[in-house]
Amino acid sequence: MPVKTITDLHVEQGMPVLVRVDFNVPLRADGSVLDDRRIRMAVPTIKCILDVGGIAVCMSHLGRPAGTGPEEKYSLSPVADVLQMLLGAEHRVHFVAGACRGPMAQAAIDSASPGDVVLLDNLRFEAGEKAGDAAFAADLAALGRAYVNDAFGTAHRDHASMVGVPAAMQAQPRVAGFLLEKELQFLGEAIAAPKRPFIAVLGGAKVSDKLNAIRNLLDDVDSIIVGGGMAYTFLAAQGKSIGDSLVELEMVSTAAELLSKAQQAGKAIHLPVDHVCAQRIEAHVPTQVCKGNVPDGWIGLDIGPATIELCTRELHTAGTVVWNGPMGVFEMPPLDMGTQAVAQALRAATERGAVTIVGGGETAAAVKAAGVDAQVSHVSTGGGASLRMLEGLSFASVACLEEA
């Protein structure tokens, strides 16, 4: 459903605008922000409000607090510091420590000047956020005169700030921010009207995590490349020996059904033809390339050179590529070669004019590690949400926004 966006929103001087952002960022051991990408991605939407004299009231969750009150290790205080640095001295960030509603939040908004930001503390300090509690949502809604959803990373969650707040603000503007708009555009159009050939690259550990995506994509894609630990469940379904590799025994018959369905539909599912194997999982472990079967006592931990060549050749033809999930244990050299190669193949495909979309936290980290995150068409900020879109699901949080 096409929805109104922040460019349709009329912001008056000093008007408080609720902005649901995704500041669920990784933190270092000392509590500082390790990766500020999600914060940087929200800045254009925030500045769109600030530059016309509005007050951006930002709300987000961070980590998994118990929901019984403030917990210092999950405070958004480090995020406030990064946001202030990104916005500069022109805009002041007011942080509401320990509270996301009530008198403290309202006092911070009342004392803010046009062009300021008020950052509420972690929404999940209150159980009402994950429970979708209507009273909690109403308290949040009372803090603003318009609602902007720019949190694609939680778009698939029916939480209070995502669904309850816009539901409580039916008489007020409810629009998508720039980031949510971009995510819906890229992922939505990739599935609905892809430039062909349309190729999906799926990795990660488990078939069960990607099962619904594979089922949905088989109707739309021209081929699927499967790597990562999930490939060994498919290979087991073909009767191949997989040694001590990861396998979901309860999913073997399902994998066989998917392979049969793809064959009947004339869609190729490309599985690894060789593997980088080791006898244990650790960095710089001795490895060997195993062609075909994986020997007993060995674990398939990455795609091998012949499979890399197959993937590169396949991606060379692509018009659209959607990639979700690494090809191996990419965090541990030399088990990152397959994932790195796919990342470079996506960069080359983009240069040839293909639309290339990367979804999922691990996959986003992989393209960043490969130095090509700025050279693909789009890197999604939401792993779970992007996977739900590949499954063909719609989001209640988007349906709550105003139709364009």
Tens digits of per-residue pLDDT, 240-283?
999 999 999 999 999 999 999 999 999 999 999 999 999 999 88
Strand partners, 291: 274
Q: What's the pLDDT at 1?
A: 65
| Confidence band for 234, pLDDT divided at 50, 70 and 90 | very high
Given a cut of 90, whether residue 372 has pLDDT beyond it is: yes
Average pLDDT score over residue span 179-200: 90
CB 8 within 8 A of CB 404: yes
Given a cut of 80, whether residue 310 has pLDDT beyond it is: yes
The catalytic site residues sit at 38, 206, 361, 384
The dotted CATH code for 6-176 is 3.40.50.1260
Q: What's the pLDDT at 362?
A: 87
Given a cut of 90, whether residue 171 has pLDDT beyond it is: yes
CB 169 within 8 A of CB 175: no
The dotted CATH code for 183-390 is 3.40.50.1260
Average pLDDT score over residue span 221-230: 96
Phi and psi (nearest 5°) for 243? 55, -130
CB 206 within 8 A of CB 248: yes
Q: Residue 37: CB partners within 8 Å, gap ≥ 6? A: 25, 364, 381
CB 329 within 8 A of CB 314: no
Tens digits of per-residue pLDDT, 140-159?
999 999 999 999 999 999 99
Angle between helices 37-50 and 178-192 (to 10 degrees): 120
- Structural element, H or E, at residue 305: helix 305-316
Q: What's the pLDDT at 391?
A: 87
Greatest pairwise CA separation for the chain in angstroms: 69
DSSP assignment of 11-59 equals --TT-EEEEE------B-TTS-BS--HHHHHHHHHHHHHHTTT-EEEEE
Domain boundaries, the chain: 6-176, 183-390
What percentage of residues in the chain have a pLDDT greater than 90? 87
Token code pair at residue 267: 């869609």
Given a cut of 90, whether residue 49 has pLDDT beyond it is: yes
Q: What's the pLDDT at 360?
A: 75
Nearest to 214 by CA among 234, 197, 194, 196: 234
Q: Residue 69: CB partners within 8 Å, gap ≥ 6? A: 125
**Identical fold at 6-176 and 183-390?**
yes
Q: Is 392 helix (H, G, I), strand (E, B) or coil?
A: coil
